[in-house]
Structure 1
Amino acid sequence: MVQSIIFDMDGTLFQTDKILELSLDDAFEKLRVMNQWSGATPIEKYREIMGVPLPKVWEALLPDHSMEIKEQTDAYFLERLIENIKDGKGALYPNVIEIFEYLTERDCSIYIASNGLTDYLAAIVDHYHLDDWVTETFSIQQIDTLDKGDLVRTIIEKYKINNGAVVGDRLSDINAAKDNGLLAVGCNFDFAQEEELAQADFVINDLIELKTVLFR
């Protein structure tokens, strides 16, 4: 029986798309005011790379801008994300709380491993009281490599996990599971890509399906 489950946050537990466009628009509007951007907000390009650490996001969206501008944009984007979370404009995916309660009843330990930044993750955890079920939330900021596999390894080593699964929507989550000898469960949600999910051990369309996938 699987004893520990490590969840991704964006696109897995939290419906990031509900605040993504709002926050990205805010960030690029600020760039327009500063005469650092013209044209539409590159929301589609961001959707293509959704799930990578934020420094890599700005490398992709603002390749010709200075590091100073990238850092300013990063900080403002994070600020807007957090405010939108606190304002209740985001949402968890269906059945997050139900599956957390189910897993807790089965004495499973729950963790979160995310490419999101610490303050951003804390805002989600606090707003939805996820600490009632989650043992600890880990951010990519906590490691130097910005590699999801290394982040998952940090959790495994800290909590001495030897039987577990990683649940996420992107290839980085699937690879993180396989690199660490854990079960890889792919979530066919908003940002998922078919060719990436094909590499998972199991694919689910709703988190409630973890009941059958993890406890056969």
Structure 2
Amino acid sequence: MLRSVIFDMDGTLFQTDTILEIALEETFAYLRSQNKWDSETPLEKYREIMGVPLPKVWETLLPHYSRMEREETDTYFLERLTENINSGNGKLYPNVKEVFRYLKENDCNIYIASNGLINYLDAIVNYFDLNHWITETFSIEQIDSLNKSNLVRYIVKKYNIYHGAVVGDRLSDFQAAKDNGLISIGCNFDFAKEMELAHADIVIDNLIELKSIIPKL
């Protein structure tokens, strides 16, 4: 059985869409109140790029804004996300805690590698009391390149991981696994794309499947 599993957060463990629309609407309502936005909230456009680091999100959604304006928007958005998590509006995907419990009971270390920022990840981990099982949570903020492969490499080196898996829903997760000699497990969940899942070594439709897959790897 593998002794290390690295999980993505958004779209893999956390149902981001449960707070995404609310927080995005609140953010663009704020921009409208500041006379900095005069059309609908670009929710669908955000869904298309879901999973990329937030600086790249705002470059896409607000291409004509200054860097300072994007950073201010990013700060406000993160505040709204965190507030919605702490208010109980977010949800984990089914069976997250059961799978975590199973892995820990079988001496498997659990890590988080996410494009989310530190405060956001901490809010999820703390609200859902996941620290019982997670060895450490890593944010893309810790890597200058904002590259998921480099983030996973950082984890691999820190914990001397030789045999492990990366569980995620986007191409960056599967590429990070490949670049670091790990097995990639694709989650066919809300934000997953068929063309990207084709690059995963294994594809699952529910996290509970990991209980039968991990022991065989």
Pair in the same fold by TM > 0.5: yes
In structure 2, the residue matched to 1:80 is: 80
In structure 2, the residue matched to 1:121 is: 121
**What is the Cα deviation at residue 164 of structure 1?**
0.2
In the alignment, is the contact (CA less than 8 A) between 1:202 and 1:213 conserved in 2? no
In the alignment, structure 1 residue 89 sits paired with structure 2 residue 89: yes
In structure 2, the residue matched to 1:148 is: 148
Structure 2 Cα separation of the partners of residues 185 and 140 of structure 1: 20
In the alignment, structure 1 residue 182 sits paired with structure 2 residue 144: no
Structure 2 regions of 5+ residues with no counterpart?
Answer: none
Structure 2 Cα separation of the partners of residues 68 and 108 of structure 1: 43
Q: Deviations over 1:147-206 (max 9, x none)?
A: 000000010000000010000000000000000000000000000000000110000000
Structure 1 Cα separation of the partners of residues 188 and 105 of structure 2: 25
- The equivalences for 1:17-96 within 5 A come to 17-96=17-96
Structure 2 Cα separation of the partners of residues 108 and 158 of structure 1: 16
**What is the Cα deviation at residue 60 of structure 1?**
0.3
**What TM-score results when the alignment is normalised by the length of structure 1?**
0.99
Structure 1 Cα separation of the partners of residues 11 and 152 of structure 2: 17
Structure 2 Cα separation of the partners of residues 46 and 96 of structure 1: 25
Structure 2 Cα separation of the partners of residues 207 and 93 of structure 1: 8
Amino acid at match of 1:62: L
Structure 1 Cα separation of the partners of residues 45 and 33 of structure 2: 21
Structure 2 Cα separation of the partners of residues 160 and 71 of structure 1: 35
Structure 1 Cα separation of the partners of residues 213 and 28 of structure 2: 41
In the alignment, is the contact (CA less than 8 A) between 1:185 and 1:200 conserved in 2? yes
Q: Deviations over 1:24-83 (max 9, x none)?
A: 111111111111111110000000000000000000000011112111100000000000
What's the RMSD between the two structures over aligned residues? 0.6
**What is the Cα deviation at residue 2 of structure 1?**
1.1
In structure 1, the residue matched to 2:204 is: 204
Name the % identity: 65
Which is worse superposed, 164-173 or 62-71? 62-71
Structure 2 Cα separation of the partners of residues 125 and 184 of structure 1: 23
The structure 1 segments of at least 4 consecutive aligned residues displaced by more than 4 Å after TM superposition are none
